[in-house]
Amino acid sequence: MVQEKDQRGLLIMRHNEKITQEIRRRIAHNKFRDHLFWIIGLLSTLIGFVVLFTLIIDLFADGFPRLSWSFLTSYPSRFPEKAGILSAWVGTTLVMIVTAAAAVPLGIATGVYLEEYSKKNWSTHIIEINMNNLAGVPSIIYGLLALGLFVYFLKLGESILTGGLTLGLLILPMVVISTRESIKAIPNSIREASYALGATKWQTIKDHILPYSIGGILTGMIIGLSRAIGETAPIITVGALTFIAFLPSSPVTSAFPFLTFKWLFDPFTVMPIQMFNWVSRPQKEFHLNAAAAGIILLLMTLVMNGFAVYLRYKFRKRIKW
């Protein structure tokens, strides 16, 4: 700053004035950028909402007129107005049962081992790195694994069992991660109190750790299953059929022992594959069917996600350490 001495001192005043103005200008400029970013940030966050909203509106506009009881209770057909999703939603339900049966026990056991038993050594480290890596493997690679392993090596065929196991492997990392996180949240004092009463490690886990972390585990399981419901690629790869006009054999029979597992080995289709099949046809009428199937599929995943959020909220509220 150049300072010129003036008898009255006015010049210095003017200099300062200039600097003050400059500072004020900069502050205003910075504040403006700050506010501008506030707006840009809000708008960017809204992009996601807008897309989600448009997508739902678009699906409903196209598919809602097709939704009816007969759409839910009909098999796919060459005639778009007669086609329905019966075999698809039954297939999805059965596949999800297998997926849950495969992923949940294995995932919880892995999570419990990693949190409660494993020592901090290199083998644990490898399991952890591996788990993170598995979570990042594209779903279609799981499809290729299942094609080689389940379909051809174990000869399980292109069956419900294969489909369910494939998706089970896919969501395993999610179940493990949520199990670990909810176990981590339990304070050590709980474990110490249990040991102090003479409980063994397994008794502590069975009677304390698992019951207290069940909320988080359930949440992870439901979110994993909701992801699995929408998965298409790996199921196509293992060879689910796109056109199925029959149901798998019923799991309940009239003769003793009333339960059979024959359905595990039946061919199947699932909701997203049915939708994919309809989208890929050139006729507009089939696109409407695809939209209707999309509505049901979207509702399934949104309801499951909503339920998971509710569970998380409820359990977080109930437990106070």
Partner 1 sequence: MKRKTSSKIKERAIEGILLLSALSSIFITLSIVFILFYEALGFFKEVPVREFLTGTQWTPLFAQPKFGILPLVSGTLLVTGIAVLVALPVGLIVAVYLSEYAPHKIREIAKPILELLAAVPTVVYGYFALLFLTPILRNFIPALSGFNALSPGIIMGVMIIPYVSSVSEDSMKAVPMHIREGSYATGATKFQTAFRVIIPSAFSGIAAAFVIGISRAIGETMVVAIAAGMMPNLTLNAVEPIQTLTAYIVGVSLGDVPHGTLEYKTIFAAGITLFFMTLFLNILGFWFRRRIREVY
In the range 72-131, which residues lie near partner 1 by CB under 8 A? 105-106, 109-110, 112-114, 117-118, 126-127, 129-131
Angle formed at CA 220 by CA 51 and CA 175, multiple of 5 degrees: 120
Q: Are 293 and 201 in contact (CB under 8 A)?
A: no
The encoded tokens of residue 98 equal 């297998």
Residue 321 beta carbon to partner 1: minimum distance, rounded to whole angstroms: 22
Residue 298 near partner 1 by CB under 8 A: yes
Residue 266 near partner 1 by CB under 8 A: no
Residue 247 beta carbon to partner 1: minimum distance, rounded to whole angstroms: 22
Residue type, position 157, single letter: G
Tally of CB atoms within 10 A around 320: 5
7: part of which helix (H) or strand (E)? none
Number of residues that bind partner 1 (CB under 8 A): 87
The SS3 of residue 10 is helix
- 166, 219, 237, 269: which one contacts partner 1 (CB under 8 A)? 237
Q: In the beta sheet, which residues pair with residue 252?
A: 259
Nearest to 167, CA basis, from 226, 254, 125: 226
Among the candidate windows 6-14, 30-38, 69-77, 259-267, which touches partner 1 by CB under 8 A? 30-38
Residue 153 DSSP label = I
Among the candidate windows 82-90, 213-221, 261-269, 298-306, which touches partner 1 by CB under 8 A? 298-306
Residue 148 near partner 1 by CB under 8 A: yes
Contacts (CB under 8 A) with partner 1, residues 39-68:
40-42, 44-45, 47-49, 51-52, 54-55, 58-59, 62
